[in-house]
A and B are shown apart, each in its own frame.
Chain A
Amino acid sequence: MLAILESLPKAIEFGLLFAFLSLGVYITFRILDFPDLTVDGSFTTGGAIAAVMITHGYSPWLSTVAAFGGGCAAGAVTGLLHTKGRINGLLSGILMMIALYSINLRIMGVPNVSLLGEPTIFSSGVSPMLISAVGAVVVKLLIDLFFRTDLGLSLRATGDNARMIRSFGVNTDNSKMLGISLSNGLVAISGALFAQYGGFADNSQGIGMIVIGLASVIIGEAIFGTRTIFWATLAAVFGAVFYWIVYTVALESEWLRLEASDMKMITALIVIVALVIPTAQRALKQRSVARRRSAELAGMAADTEHGGGR
């Protein structure tokens, strides 16, 4: 129990690093209704760009911004494949993810770049939790604001009713590309922060990130709801934090006997359960409503017959 409490701050820190990933996945998965698997590649791209730039003497902040740019570029290519190339959405993401595996290796030159002894945005003495918390909140608020602009509204409508927004003059191919690009930029920020926090960038760092992102978004939605964009992005940020708390508790608890290597399966299970439950609930509810209404209607019919007999 004590071990769990001691590891909580670390879990929260982790969660805040991953809040950007979660916000990115929210944009593609919920706003654009586009399940984007580029994430596993672009997360690593972010870490790779940041690590290589930092080891070459660039400022860690500039390196993180460059990582954002790299993620945006990767997302833009996925968007191009999907819209102009007319390739199925899932497949465009998978293709880009695989291509990024080679590209990331090219960026780093070696499979693993160490940042030990290098300056990072966390080496300034300010607590990592504060830095990532402020960063996550600022980005969350910027996203909220963006989705209330004319451009942001057209992006949301592209996911909600593409036919309608086309009839009002929006090139939905462009808005999809913009959304996917922005999303992967955010994911790459998480990758860059994660590499700086952990002290290394690795070519396999991004594996399973899409599922962690989905789990975070879904957990957050379950807690905070999605009434408005404000609440939905808040849910994404806190969903990431809750995910890592759950992760830590599951890993530290003695009777569960879970290994770190089991966690990908646990994460997948969380997503599966979260996706299945709402559908099952809806079906059950509909059936009970239908049954009740049929009974009511049958009752009314019986009443009329009775009344007619008098």
Chain B
Amino acid sequence: MLELRHVSKLFFAGTADEKIALAKINLSLKPGDFVTVIGSNGAGKSTLMNVISGVLTPDAGEVLIDGAAVHLLPEYRRSRWIGRVFQDPMAGTAPHMTIEENLAMAYKRGKPRGLQLGVTRAKRAFFQEQLARLNLGLHTRLRAKVGQLSGGERQALSLLMATFTEPQILLLDEHTAALDPSRAELVTRLTESIVREMKLTTLMVTHNMEQAIRLGNRLIMMDKGRIILDIDESRKKDLTVEQLLREFERISGHKMADDRVVFG
């Protein structure tokens, strides 16, 4: 479904600040895989997401979706395969537009946009039905501006917008990190049920170790632009946070340095 072959990315190439963000990454996801990604600060987790989504172009290597090389396509052309939720709850929605308008834009993900009406009666009914699944009461506020919603509500809406058109690949970039614990829990629960229901191939970066172990069927750990640990479903089941940290120190040779890490 998703495959990365020898993908490398260098920041500030040729200057004193040169930094290897990704070093010959190889990664292959089968359809329906739900992979959690953890790693210390600057490990390359976000760069990995950006190279897949097209925000960044890799310096070397290939990104394939469904067997087709996409690494040279700009972000807006890759969106037909990819749904995305950002860390910042403000980033995934347009604040001065209404909930239904935001959903109408997401509904057309990766498709040509012409002069048809964005919100039609039929679509509105569909949006209502989708919003009702969030259990946040948003289905009664279709015409409210998104800027009036709380961070948690906006992130839940972003998640719905990224997923309700069933993308081939879902990228979640620490999408619960900026929320308070109860809201983060809510969005995590929604993520779990949506991914399971739609069998979405998902890559999720998280700082929450416990979450990384509990969610998904595979866990990868990154350090200094490399994947240093790849744990499959059977081994992941009995994993503990302590084991994970010990394993990290053993392979990388240093302690997990992360100011935001949550041990669960």
Using a CB–CB distance below 8 Å, which chain A residues touch chain B?
Answer: 146, 148-154, 156-157, 160-161, 163-172
Q: Hey, which chain A residues are within 8 Å of B109, CB to CB? A: 168-169
8 residue pairs, one from A and one from B, having the closest CB atoms: A169-B79, A150-B113, A160-B94, A169-B110, A153-B118, A161-B94, A157-B94, A149-B115
Q: Hey, which chain A residues are within 8 Å of B91, CB to CB? A: 161, 163-164
B96 to chain A, nearest CB (A): 5
Whether the pair B108, A149 counts as a contact (CB closer than 8 A) is: no
Per a CB cutoff under 8 Å, which of A148, A154, A160 touches B117? A148
- CB nearest neighbor in B for A146: B115
Number of A-B contacts (CB under 8 A): 85
Using a CB–CB distance below 8 Å, which chain B residues touch chain A?
Answer: 53, 74-77, 79-80, 82, 84, 86, 90-97, 101, 104-106, 108-111, 113-119, 161
Q: Hey, which chain B residues are within 8 Å of A146, CB to CB? A: 115
Cα A172 to Cα B53 with chains together (Å)? 16
A159 to chain B, nearest CB (A): 9
Q: Hey, which chain B residues are within 8 Å of A154, CB to CB? A: 105, 108, 113
Whether the pair A153, B101 counts as a contact (CB closer than 8 A) is: yes
Q: Hey, which chain A residues are within 8 Å of B111, CB to CB? A: 169
- CB nearest neighbor in B for A167: B84
A/B interface sample: 13 pairs, CB < 8 A? A146-B115, A149-B115, A150-B108, A150-B115, A150-B116, A151-B115, A153-B101, A160-B97, A161-B90, A164-B92, A167-B79, A167-B84, A168-B161
Cα A160 to Cα B119 with chains together (Å)? 18
Cα A179 to Cα B114 with chains together (Å)? 14
Whether the pair B113, A170 counts as a contact (CB closer than 8 A) is: yes
Q: Hey, which chain B residues are within 8 Å of A149, CB to CB? A: 113-118
- CB nearest neighbor in B for A31: B96
Q: A148-B119, A167-B53, A167-B84 are in contact. Are A153 and B105 (CB under 8 A)?
A: yes
Q: Hey, which chain B residues are within 8 Å of A163, CB to CB? A: 86, 91
- CB nearest neighbor in B for A149: B115
Cα A252 to Cα B99 with chains together (Å)? 48
B79 to chain A, nearest CB (A): 4
Whether the pair B113, A151 counts as a contact (CB closer than 8 A) is: yes
Whether the pair A164, B94 counts as a contact (CB closer than 8 A) is: yes
Q: A161-B91, A170-B113 are in contact. Are A153 and B79 (CB under 8 A)?
A: no
Whether the pair A164, B79 counts as a contact (CB closer than 8 A) is: no
Q: Hey, which chain A residues are within 8 Å of B117, CB to CB? A: 148-150
- CB nearest neighbor in A for B88: A163
Whether the pair B76, A166 counts as a contact (CB closer than 8 A) is: yes
Whether the pair B94, A169 counts as a contact (CB closer than 8 A) is: no
Whether the pair B104, A150 counts as a contact (CB closer than 8 A) is: yes
Q: Hey, which chain A residues are within 8 Å of B161, CB to CB? A: 168
Whether the pair B95, A165 counts as a contact (CB closer than 8 A) is: no
Cα A167 to Cα B86 with chains together (Å)? 10
- CB nearest neighbor in B for A150: B113
